[in-house]
Structure 1
Amino acid sequence: MRKALLATASLLLALGTAQAQAPAPDNLEKLSNFQTTGTSEFTYVAQSGDYADGIKKNLERIKLPEGFKIGLYAVVPDARHIAVGPQGVVTFVGTRKDKVWSVTDRNKDRVADEVKDFAPSLKFAIPNGVCFSRDGFLYIAEQNRVLVYPAAEYFYESPDVAAFNVVKQGDLIPASEESYNHTARVCRVGPDGKLYISLGQPFNVAPPEKLDLYRKVGIGGMIRLNTDGTGREVYTYGIRNSVGHDFHPVTGELWFTDNQVDGMGDDIPPGEINRQTAPGQHFGHPWYGGGSIRTNEYAEQEVPVDVVMPAVETIAHAADLGMTFYTGNQFPAKYKNAIFSAQHGSWNRTTPVGARVMVTFVDDEGKATAEPFAEGWIDENGEYLGRPVDVAQLRDGSILVSDDLAGAIYRIWYEGN
């Protein structure tokens, strides 16, 4: 009898475990056909209390150029890349987990009033990359899928939103190449109206046996495609793991950050901000670890491609991530068309560096110089108080900065003359 009871209990436990682990149904087909899913609940994030007060306290130590101020815009768990809606109604924030957040400032006091999950009837898998087209279509690039939401600034108020495949699940990269490393996709709609998506390769240094496949599908590079998913091509080669790109507002050239090889020492190789002037250019990986520093794995090999060296070399291991060109009118004139970029901060370094916002000034010839703009998220003990990820611009000309450690979005504005 005892054995029978134990067997029954084991069976029930196994069934319960299987039910708990069974994936929830994917409602994309219903949403694509404008059908309701039965989902009715949002997850809301509190915007006041001790947690928000602690973030505000840490912001008191942030150093900025004279005339600039920083404040807490929103508490947003795991906040990564930012897409500000063209209508100025709502801002969408991606994560490396399973949620995209909608952030709304309803009374326009430049502080968010409401943060809730977007499209809760859908299953997301690392929905890091969020970007808008000029006509208001929201694209979300996940680990291995890209969806479009044609009226996100309207439908976000409902749990069900109109959503459609651009690149269906399993077609962004081969399923065999799905990894836990370097999975955060970033997207932008370029001046040509095409969608540009970065595909980081998963290794510290890509091995020789993977290079042909990666070159063919665009892993360790950037692809571009029409916004309906057709016309896919590899636009950029030789990237290790780019998690930020944007287009120069005057020239239309593509600029992007790149995280470089770990394990080579505290001070090499440098991080990169790159300038691409033509399709198909190669930026050095895996033959170069960053800048002109050769990787140990390929040091004895002749480089078989023409390599474009970085426009800017940044401090080693600072982890340059999201970036945007500044086109607003609120900041002093010298910042017009400058790049604001986030350094996430080092993990592979004896003394931590980064955890700040950089500004890169680009002259008429494309030459660039970078300097710190907002810093202080590493305290005197070397402890991280925050880790900036991305930068975006609000319609009033202020900028937003995401922080996935603090789980926050900051706003930086100018009050000088």
Structure 2
Amino acid sequence: MKYLMSSVAALALASLAHAQTPAVPDNLEKLSNFQSTGTTEFTMIEQKGEYADGIKKNLERIELPPGFKIALYAVVPDARHMAVGPQGIVTFVGTRKDKVWAVTDRNKDRVADEVKDFAPSLTFSIPNGPCFSKDGFLYIAEQNRVLLFPAAEFFYESPDVAAFNLIKQGELIPPEHESFNHTARVCKVGPDGKVYISLGQPFNVAPAESLDEFAKWGIGGIIRINTDGTGREVYTRGIRNSVGHDFHPETGELWFTDNQVDGMGDDIPPGEINRQTAAGQNFGHPWYGGGSVRTVEYEGQEVPVEAVMPAAEMDAHAADLGMTFYTGGMFPEKYRNAIFSAQHGSWNRTTPVGARVMVTFVDEEGKTTSEPFAHGWIDENGEYLGRPADVAQLRDGSLLVSDDLAGAIYRIWYEGS
């Protein structure tokens, strides 16, 4: 404990040099100085009752491959992207609102016992993207800020937690480019120890007059920074709105989902899972709306970049979001290093599609084959019973699936003979 506190204190002194205006007056500065804010109450989420029973009833219709099971893990309002703590103590769950939830399975029966808000003395703004470093530092990517929480698995039991600015408010993107559209950031710590953060551009098709400014900031791309917030660079370009990425367990290459352009019809352009093999590669937006389908706005123009085509094309408008490579030992061997990804479901397709978990198998040459893994959240009337948003792996090798429509997290495990 003494070593932990001294290490975090050293980080506090370094971070205070960069600390700026907090979301709640004085609270971020107080937390950076290990001072109490006076906050004493949590918002606790009931885990039993009629609401939970209704979710469990809907799960009876979910189809999985033989030997797999699914059950309600936790009731979590607006559940989006998840970060499982390296010690396996708690899972942090982001939202597109103003809460981050801490989900704890205290008796290790693989069902959460407690769901409460994390760091309630802070006001978050679209804290969609939590991610962990291997040494237990939690990063939360908001709409226009990135916060750092050292030893989050230790401090989360208290309303006051050690918290610092990594990228201060208004410096992730210029404030004039803040939008209500495509603001769900995600982050992952890469094998190089850097933090990778996606920055969706706010338009259906990015306008020509914005391209230079967007390229400068990495809007419509993925940036990476050092874990102290320095060394910012644009790593990925030509993305419309990526809301999920992970690194191949063997090659270390970045793979990511991307959402295609709307308004081009029910069946085009395709959704994407992309593979990046070198820094600075461009994946074609806004000249391509998805796959090799050209956008109307840029049709006929010469594409001024060497565009990388998707590694996997997914159903149009299925809205591919969070993804993770499977590295656990529970599932059959064929799933090792496969991609599990959440399709949120279409919002404007004549016949809804998506609302499922996909699995994409990647061979040694990087070629892919995708198929549904868990599906059934669209009923026979075309009504959504759930909308998966992210997939994460627990230490036992089972998968968690978040659902921001139902306000829930599901657990999928294997019981095959």
Q: TM-score, normalised by structure 1?
A: 0.94
1:333-352 deviations in Å (ceiling 9; x for gaps): 00000000000000121000
Q: Which residue of 2 aligns with 1:411?
A: 411
1:168-226 deviations in Å (ceiling 9; x for gaps): 11000000000000000000000000000000000000000000000000000000010
Q: Which residue of 1 aligns with 2:197?
A: 197
Q: Distance in 2 between matches of 1:348 and 1:253?
A: 33
Deviation, structure 1 residue 300: 1.8
Q: Which residue of 1 aligns with 2:210?
A: 210
Q: Does 1:147 align with 2:143?
A: no
Give the match's secondary structure for 2:197: strand
Give the match's secondary structure for 1:209: helix
Q: Which residue of 1 aligns with 2:296?
A: 296
Could you tell me which amino acid in structure 1 is paired with residue 255 of structure 2? W
Q: Which residue of 1 aligns with 2:94?
A: 94
Q: Which residue of 2 aligns with 1:335?
A: 335
Alignment of 1:118-129 (within 5 A): 118-129=118-129
Contact conserved, 1:26 with 1:122, CA < 8 A, in 2? no
Q: Aligned pair in 2 of structure 1 residues 24, 149: CA closer, same or farther (>3 Å)?
A: closer
Alignment of 1:267-346 (within 5 A): 267-346=267-346
Contact conserved, 1:186 with 1:197, CA < 8 A, in 2? yes
Q: What is the Cα-based RMSD across aligned positions, in Å?
A: 0.7
Q: Which residue of 2 aligns with 1:66?
A: 66
Give the match's secondary structure for 2:153: helix
Could you tell me which amino acid in structure 2 is paired with residue 407 of structure 1? G
Q: Distance in 2 between matches of 1:415 and 1:111?
A: 16
Contact conserved, 1:392 with 1:400, CA < 8 A, in 2? yes
Q: Distance in 1 between matches of 2:221 and 2:177?
A: 14
Contact conserved, 1:130 with 1:141, CA < 8 A, in 2? yes
Q: Distance in 1 between matches of 2:27 and 2:209?
A: 38
Give the match's secondary structure for 1:41: coil
Q: Which residue of 1 aligns with 2:16?
A: none
Q: Distance in 1 between matches of 2:249 and 2:240?
A: 25
Give the match's secondary structure for 1:55: helix
Alignment of 1:388-399 (within 5 A): 388-399=388-399
Contact conserved, 1:82 with 1:402, CA < 8 A, in 2? yes
Contact conserved, 1:26 with 1:123, CA < 8 A, in 2? no
Give the match's secondary structure for 1:409: strand
Deviation, structure 1 residue 24: 5.0
Give the match's secondary structure for 2:275: strand
Give the match's secondary structure for 1:51: helix
Could you tell me which amino acid in structure 2 is paired with residue 287 of structure 1? W
Could you tell me which amino acid in structure 2 is paired with residue 39 of structure 1? T
Give the match's secondary structure for 1:216: helix
Q: Which residue of 2 aligns with 1:255?
A: 255
Contact conserved, 1:83 with 1:130, CA < 8 A, in 2? yes
Contact conserved, 2:24 with 2:122, CA < 8 A, in 1? no
Q: Which residue of 1 aligns with 2:374?
A: 374
Deviation, structure 1 residue 26: 5.1
Q: Which residue of 1 aligns with 2:18?
A: none
Contact conserved, 1:283 with 1:307, CA < 8 A, in 2? yes
Contact conserved, 2:30 with 2:36, CA < 8 A, in 1? yes
Q: Which residue of 2 aligns with 1:386?
A: 386
Structure with greater Cα Rg: 1
Give the match's secondary structure for 1:28: helix
1:346-401 deviations in Å (ceiling 9; x for gaps): 01210000000000000111111110000000000000000000000000000000
Q: Distance in 2 between matches of 1:360 and 1:331?
A: 14
Q: Aligned pair in 2 of structure 1 residues 240, 26: CA closer, same or farther (>3 Å)?
A: farther
Q: TM-score, normalised by structure 2?
A: 0.94
Q: Does 1:163 align with 2:159?
A: no
Count of residue pairs the alignment pairs up? 395
1:306-333 deviations in Å (ceiling 9; x for gaps): 0000000000000000000000000000
Could you tell me which amino acid in structure 1 is paired with residue 148 of structure 2? V
Which 5+ residue runs of structure 2 have no aligned equivalent? 1-22
Q: Give aligned-pair identity as a percent.
A: 84
Alignment of 1:33-44 (within 5 A): 33-44=33-44
Q: Which residue of 2 aligns with 1:112?
A: 112
Give the match's secondary structure for 1:402: strand
Q: Distance in 1 between matches of 2:133 and 2:169?
A: 21
Q: Does 1:32 align with 2:64?
A: no
Alignment of 1:10-25 (within 5 A): 24-25=24-25
Q: Distance in 1 between matches of 2:62 and 2:401?
A: 13
Contact conserved, 1:341 with 1:357, CA < 8 A, in 2? yes
**Which deviates the most, 23-32 or 319-328?**
23-32
Q: Distance in 2 between matches of 1:26 and 1:296?
A: 49
Q: Which residue of 2 aligns with 1:11?
A: none
Contact conserved, 1:239 with 1:258, CA < 8 A, in 2? yes
Give the match's secondary structure for 2:374: strand
Q: Distance in 1 between matches of 2:253 and 2:197?
A: 15
Q: Which residue of 2 aligns with 1:46?
A: 46
Q: Distance in 2 between matches of 1:88 and 1:320?
A: 27
Q: Distance in 2 between matches of 1:24 and 1:121?
A: 8
Could you tell me which amino acid in structure 2 is paired with residue 276 of structure 1? Q
Give the match's secondary structure for 1:365: coil
Could you tell me which amino acid in structure 1 is paired with residue 288 of structure 2? Y
Q: Distance in 2 between matches of 1:258 and 1:109?
A: 35
Q: Distance in 1 between matches of 2:26 and 2:290?
A: 40
Q: Distance in 2 between matches of 1:197 and 1:212?
A: 19
Deviation, structure 1 residue 25: 2.9
Give the match's secondary structure for 2:130: strand
Q: Which residue of 2 aligns with 1:241?
A: 241
Q: Distance in 2 between matches of 1:150 and 1:192?
A: 19
Q: Distance in 2 between matches of 1:348 and 1:42?
A: 37
Which 5+ residue runs of structure 1 have no aligned equivalent? 1-22
Q: Distance in 1 between matches of 2:126 and 2:330?
A: 34
